[in-house]
């Protein structure tokens, strides 16, 4: 009898400890003055998945669960154009001269829009299922997309014709991104692999394995010498693009990392969720938001592998597409809390 009571007591204590760790344990916050919240915009009625600065840093485009992606003014918050989709658009991008916006939608279509008029110019076919990522090449002549049909598609922007289809992945494509020279395209998938393609030849040149779970986000450093990858395994990995070897692995308190972006060539900002399994379950079924202060984003010094600052102003997860302004002075973060926040970068280079 006594043995059974001890076992029951240990079981109860174990459950209490589990609940405490899942719902009540406060994460370690790192204060800093590198990133300061400047503006918060509530332009969407649902989760915001991605936001991008226009090349002039005045306009923004954002998309998510809403049926309308939005082109808007960063200074005033005025919506200039609603870009209608029947099913929402989790992926958005500006072309390099800011005249076009691309949206990737839940219906498997990539659409090209005129920024000045807001008019739909082209619908690019060839994919099925949700498009999770779109990216214009640095010269603007190509656009790449990837999604739930397990392939990467590259189109000629002017003609709308498919130039390449890459089908090496065995599961969903989450991110496609050109390197700064435009010679290479990196793509990440649910098979936990990152693939590097030469877009001059259409050949797969490298398959990078290193993440134990899905790498959801990719970003090249401005000088093109590094590739950052981040995802469901809670890590950010930094790769040397001269040989695609791993240089650094960064891990904080996020349970999953949805987005990573370089700030200069030696720092990255990551965003995601710090909700643990029980918290996710309770939120999904009961709308429970938890008792802890959420770490939505983390600023890392790559070379020293140290956290410089944590960001807690978002009240829910950060989406799949953080962006940095072309002048390197501002960051934009999209979130499940239905906001886009603009942050000023200070003393960070």
97-107, pLDDT tens digit by residue?
999 999 999 99
Report whether pLDDT(90) > 70.
yes
* Residues 277, 256: Cα–Cα separation, whole Å: 11
Work out the pLDDT band at 16, boundaries 50, 70, 90: low
In the sheet with 173-178, reading across from the earlier edge strand, the strands are 173-178, 184-189, 193-198, 203-209
Per-residue pLDDT of 150-172, as tens digits, reads: 899 999 999 999 999 999 998 89
Per-residue pLDDT of 198-244, as tens digits, reads: 999 999 999 999 999 999 999 999 999 999 999 989 999 999 999 99
Give this prediction's pTM.
0.88
pLDDT of 252: 80
Report whether pLDDT(19) > 80.
no
- Quote the distance between the C-alpha of residue 136 and its chain's center: 16
> CA–CA distance from 192 to each of 189, 208, 212, 268 (Å)?
6, 9, 7, 21
* 254 or 152, which is more confident: 152
Report whether pLDDT(184) > 50.
yes
pLDDT of 288: 53
Per-residue pLDDT of 66-81, as tens digits, reads: 999 999 999 999 999 9
194: β partners: 188, 208
* 143 or 297, which is more confident: 143
pLDDT of 277: 45
Report whether pLDDT(328) > 50.
yes
Average pLDDT of the chain to the nearest whole number: 89
The set of residues, in sequence order, having a beta carbon less than 8 Å from that of 304 and lying 6+ positions away, is: none
As a whole number, mean pLDDT of residues 10-16 equals: 62
Question: Do strands 306-311 and 235-240 pair parallel, antiparallel, or not at all (unpaired)?
Answer: unpaired
188 and 320 in contact (C-beta within 8 Å)? Answer: no
Report whether pLDDT(293) > 70.
no
Per-residue pLDDT of 109-162, as tens digits, reads: 999 999 999 999 999 988 888 999 999 999 999 999 999 998 999 999 999 999
154 and 142 in contact (C-beta within 8 Å)? Answer: yes
pLDDT of 127: 83
Per-residue pLDDT of 224-234, as tens digits, reads: 999 999 998 99
Nearest CA to 299 out of 287, 290, 308, 291 is that of 308
Superfamily of domain 32-345: YVTN repeat-like/Quinoprotein amine dehydrogenase (2.130.10.10)
């Amino acid at each position: 009898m006594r043995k059974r009571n001890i076992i029951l007591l240990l079981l109860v204590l174990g459950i209490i400890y589990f609940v405490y760790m899942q719902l009540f344990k406060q994460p370690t916050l790192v204060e800093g003055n590198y990133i300061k919240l400047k503006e918060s915009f509530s332009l969407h009625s649902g989760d915001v998945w991605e936001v991008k600065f226009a090349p002039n840093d005045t306009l923004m485009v954002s998309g998510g669960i809403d049926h309308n992606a939005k082109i808007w003014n960063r200074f005033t918050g005025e919506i200039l154009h609603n870009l209608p989709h029947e099913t929402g658009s989790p992926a958005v991008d500006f072309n390099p001269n800011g005249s076009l916006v691309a949206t990737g939608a839940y219906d498997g279509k990539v659409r090209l829009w005129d920024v000045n008029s807001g008019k739909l110019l082209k619908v690019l076919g060839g994919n099925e299922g949700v498009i999770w990522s779109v990216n214009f090449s640095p010269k603007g002549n190509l656009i790449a997309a990837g999604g739930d049909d397990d392939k990467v598609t590259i189109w000629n922007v002017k003609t709308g014709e498919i130039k390449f289809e890459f089908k090496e992945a065995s599961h969903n494509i989450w991110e496609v991104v050109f390197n700064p020279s435009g010679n290479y395209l990196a793509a990440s998938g649910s098979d936990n692999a990152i693939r590097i393609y030469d877009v001059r030849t259409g050949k797969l040149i490298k398959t990078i394995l290193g993440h134990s779970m899905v790498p959801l986000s990719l970003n090249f450093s401005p000088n093109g010498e590094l590739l950052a990858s981040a995802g469901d395994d809670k890590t950010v990995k930094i790769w040397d693009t001269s040989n695609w070897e791993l240089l650094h692995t960064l891990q904080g308190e996020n349970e999953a990392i949805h987005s990573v972006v370089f700030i200069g060539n030696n720092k990255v900002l990551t965003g995601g969720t710090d909700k643990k399994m029980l918290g996710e379950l309770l939120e999904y079924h009961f709308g429970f938001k938890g008792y802890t202060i959420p770490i939505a984003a983390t600023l890392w010094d790559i070379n020293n592998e140290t956290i410089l600052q944590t960001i807690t102003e978002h009240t829910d997860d950060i989406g799949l597409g953080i962006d940095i302004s072309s002048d390197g002075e501002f960051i934009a973060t999209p979130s499940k809390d239905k906001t886009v926040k603009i942050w000023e970068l200070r003393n960070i280079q």
